[in-house]
Structure 1
Amino acid sequence: MSARTAQAPTAAASAPRTDRASRGLLARLNTPAVRTRLGTVAGVAILVVLFWRLGTGAFLDGLRRIDAATLLAALAIGLLTTVFSAWRWALVARGLGVRLPLGAAVADYYRALFLNAALPGGVLGDVHRAVRHGRSTGDLGRGVRAVVLERTAGQLALFAAGAVVLVTLPSPVRDEVRQAVPLVGLAALGACAVVLALRMNRAPSRRRGRAWHGMWAGARAGLCSRRTAPGVLLSSVVVLAGYVAMFVLAGQVAGADASVAELVPLAVLALLAMGLPLNVGGWGPREGVTAWAFGAAGLGAGRGLTVAVVYGVLGLVASLPGAVVLVARWYAGVRAAASRPAADRASVAPAAPSRPVPGGVAPGPPVGLRPRTRPQTPDGLGGPGGPGGEVSSEKYVPKESARLARSSLPFSAEPREGRPMTPESV
């Protein structure tokens, strides 16, 4: 009995330690840095599997098929999509009460696209854009919300248009999508009903209520108001059409034997796959889904990988003006930092040179004292130590202000009005 009773507290004490250790491990794995690394590893693993199964010939074939005319077309399509994306961002920001000129928005959007294509994760450019705009306007919260709402508008347009395209046009997933649409609709209605029931039965919380009210007010002002909704809808449609046109161009360059109607649903599947955070600069899920979709459509998985590679290269070329913006602003910042100390030195006046004094620095008169000459005596000697008519010595005596301040003391030893001091005058 004693052994059993001794083991019971030990097991009970080890259980909380295990729970704390598991929670600590989950908290460490849920950090943004760990998620980015895991996404990068997943993207690299997808590419390795594709190259292992399909070989590197599809990748090299895609690179060889790109010519100068294709690159110019990619730059033109990228300019169109970037300008309309920046306009959508400016509209959302103005709806939230944040000023954002269109020219600055285009430059920042180009830089964000380049960082998204060059860095792992595919979203670091948008994060940098949100933080920089929020700090430049003095309201970090609204700057971040503007970028989040702008990206949300683009994703909603992709989901809505993608659902219509995948249901109507022939694709490898049309039957599955048609069967899943009613289920997804019912699931959405059920989720809305559950959320509404929880809000009605939950005790009112001022903090939670203010948070929900702020989120809904920001979404309504940035996306659904009369001033912003038409522009946001138009820009989202144009941007999505530009992405699909880029994919169709990649398909034609890669030599895919398919019409535009056949390539559009495959482009939608590739764009949906690009939204997954398991990529290396956008590479990974896009290539895997495109290879599978082309293989399921009877166009060849290798051809699908070639199309995805061409699309990735064209997207990177379309974002290259962002590298120019990044370098130009870095150079401007370096020049500003280099010119600032010179301006500070010019604004400071040089001090007057002092005469060298043997033995060190000559002591100056004490603060608050001024020189006073002794009166000349009748014998012309000017007192002991000097010739007649000349000042022979100097003494620093208190100025008038110092004398007045000292005479105001309650016990002053100054003679007043030339009278001799007496005990009564002290």
Structure 2
Amino acid sequence: MKRFFNILVSLGILGLLIWWADGAAVLAHLQKASVGWLLLAVLSLTALTFLMAKRWQIIASALEIEISFSRAVAEYYIAQMVNLVLPGGVAGDIARAVRVRHEGDLTRAAQSVAADRIIGQSVMIAALGVGIAVALILPGGIPWPAIAWTGIAVGCVVVATAFVLSRQNGATGRFLYLVLDQFKDLRLMLLALIITVLLIFSLYASARATGTVIPPAGWFTLIPLILSAMLIPFSVGGWGWREGAAAALFPLIGASASAGIAMGIAYGAMLMIAAMPGLYFAMRATASPSAETRNQMDT
């Protein structure tokens, strides 16, 4: 029932947005989409999968879970495909943790996946915070409201709270300490930064494909906000919320709401195309006669 509800939410929001912003205008943007820029978006998203798999492999290794890079890539592709077609956006990650529990135990496997997600989102949010702060301090650019400082303050409080909790001896404290300790790994941080830049570029390329040029002032402000909207759990693959955020934010850069919706639809379609190898890896794993593979794919 919950899955059906999330699907209805995504379709309902997307349908209302297209109706509100003029469906003909949205369709016009999509019909004129640049194949070259769409291809760049797919290539960027494909590179992201390999880099995120490497990030997870490094984090898992810190937890004494040894996963080969090829295995990490396959698992990441499968998880991405599941997250894009099932409501909530976390089912694939849960299954990813269960499948690699044989390399350690379920607790450490789950922690590796959770830490991977937290570190990725933390770097994106940090980039957003810096981008918003610079935009508020420097004149010109996107006219962000002063209340944006509140969001930055909340982010600082969250980080401080996490640091304090990491000093506790409970399970939560030990996990947070593990996550915060990963930020000392310069190799991991460089990887996370490259991933953030490529995420931003993939959405920028989708905007260019549908006829909108997002100015530099929006690269680390507007784009991360749109990407963050995809984290809202009441959806499937971020559909609806992503387009809604784009429709609300695009007027800040002088673009129409319909252009924002078209960009969101193009980005969602490129996400699906880039995640298609997940079907191959899933079918190959389930078709393998080896006992090891069957254990890995028992979910």
* Structure 2 letter corresponding to 1:173: W
Deviations 1:212-261 (A, max 9, x none): 4542453356x145xxx122211111111111111111111111154343
* Structure 1 letter corresponding to 2:171: A
How many residue pairs get matched?
Answer: 286
Pair 40,167 (structure 1): closer, same or farther in 2 beyond 3 Å: farther
Q: Secondary structure at the match of 1:310?
A: helix
1:143 aligns with 2:109: yes
Alpha-carbon distance between aligned partners in 1 of 2:60 and 2:146, rounded to the nearest angstrom? 40
1:175 aligns with 2:146: yes
1:284 aligns with 2:256: no
1:27-426 aligned within 5 A: 34=2, 38-66=5-33, 68-134=35-101, 136-169=102-135, 170-171=141-142, 173=144, 175-178=146-149, 180-182=151-153, 185=156, 209-212=169-172, 214-216=174-176, 218-219=178-179, 223-224=182-183, 229-333=185-289
Deviations 1:323-382 (A, max 9, x none): 22122223325xx59xxxxxxxxxxxxxxxxxxxxxxxxxxxxxxxxxxxxxxxxxxxxx
Structure 1: stretches of 5+ with no match in the other structure = 1-32, 200-207, 338-426
Q: Which has the higher helix share?
A: 2
Answer yes or no: is the 8 Å Cα contact 1:71–1:317 preserved in 2. no
Distance apart, 1:185 and its partner CA: 4.1
Pair 74,174 (structure 1): closer, same or farther in 2 beyond 3 Å: same
Structure 2: stretches of 5+ with no match in the other structure = 136-140, 292-299
Alpha-carbon distance between aligned partners in 2 of 1:145 and 1:156, rounded to the nearest angstrom? 16
Answer yes or no: is the 8 Å Cα contact 2:143–2:252 preserved in 1. yes
* Alignment-derived partner of residue 420 in structure 1: none
Alpha-carbon distance between aligned partners in 1 of 2:28 and 2:250, rounded to the nearest angstrom? 16
Could you say which structure has the greater relative contact order, defined with CA pairs below 8 angstroms and 6 or more residues apart?
A: 2
* Structure 2 letter corresponding to 1:155: Q
Larger Rg belongs to: 1
Deviations 1:71-112 (A, max 9, x none): 532332123211111111011100011111111101111111
Answer yes or no: is the 8 Å Cα contact 2:212–2:255 preserved in 1. yes
Distance apart, 1:167 and its partner CA: 2.3
* Structure 1 letter corresponding to 2:148: V
* Structure 2 letter corresponding to 1:240: T
Deviations 1:300-329 (A, max 9, x none): 111111111111111221111212212222
Q: Secondary structure at the match of 2:43?
A: helix
| TM-score where L is the length of structure 1 | 0.60
Q: Secondary structure at the match of 1:73?
A: helix
Aligned-pair Cα RMSD in Å: 3.0
Alpha-carbon distance between aligned partners in 2 of 1:149 and 1:185, rounded to the nearest angstrom? 19
Alpha-carbon distance between aligned partners in 2 of 1:216 and 1:265, rounded to the nearest angstrom? 27
Q: Identity percentage over the alignment?
A: 27
Alpha-carbon distance between aligned partners in 1 of 2:92 and 2:179, rounded to the nearest angstrom? 22
Alpha-carbon distance between aligned partners in 1 of 2:156 and 2:127, rounded to the nearest angstrom? 16
